């Protein structure tokens, strides 16, 4: 069965850092193509970052560029999101997700994790 499990969320003060992990298992493809999304109360779900293979393709939403870094461990099938200089507006539930067909429909995210809470507050 396909499973995506996020971890690493928590409470931090503004300017702090967190490292999120997404452990993937049972995906029907060999490449590591996973994305990070976040959703805050009253706001639409937003794609924060995405990763393809050996860093061949990455994406960052403008609001996190220069602060967040996405990376992957292919052997362990794990995706990471290093978050630095965190701001209160980064507060949200963070999810990892993967497409069912990364080649033909890379933006159709089909598999989702349960989410991990990130809270940035003074």
- pLDDT, one tens digit per residue, over 60-92 is 999 999 999 999 888 888 999 999 999 999 999
Token output for 109? 């995210």
For residue 95, pLDDT beyond 90: yes
Question: What average pLDDT does range 89-99 have in this prediction?
Answer: 96
CA dihedral for 39, 45, 48, 53, sign (positive or negative): positive
- pLDDT, one tens digit per residue, over 59-68 is 999 999 999 9
Residue 29 confidence (pLDDT): 72
pLDDT band, very low/low/confident/very high, at 114 (cuts 50, 70, 90): very high
Mean pLDDT score across all residues of the chain: 92
Question: Poorest-confidence range of 18-22, 76-80, 87-91, 118-122?
Answer: 76-80
For residue 32, pLDDT beyond 80: no
């Amino acid at each position: 069965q396909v499973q995506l499990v996020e971890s690493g969320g928590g409470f931090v003060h503004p300017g702090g850092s967190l490292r999120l992990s997404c452990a993937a298992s049972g995906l029907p493809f060999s490449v590591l193509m996973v994305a990070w999304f976040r959703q805050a109360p009253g706001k639409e779900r937003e794609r924060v970052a995405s990763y393809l293979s050996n860093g061949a393709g990455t994406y960052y939403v403008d609001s996190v560029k220069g602060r967040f870094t996405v990376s992957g461990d292919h052997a362990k099938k794990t995706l990471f999101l290093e978050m630095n200089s965190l701001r209160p507006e980064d507060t949200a539930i963070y999810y990892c997700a993967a497409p069912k067909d990364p080649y033909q429909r890379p933006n159709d995210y089909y598999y989702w994790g349960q989410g991990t809470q990130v809270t940035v507050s003074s």
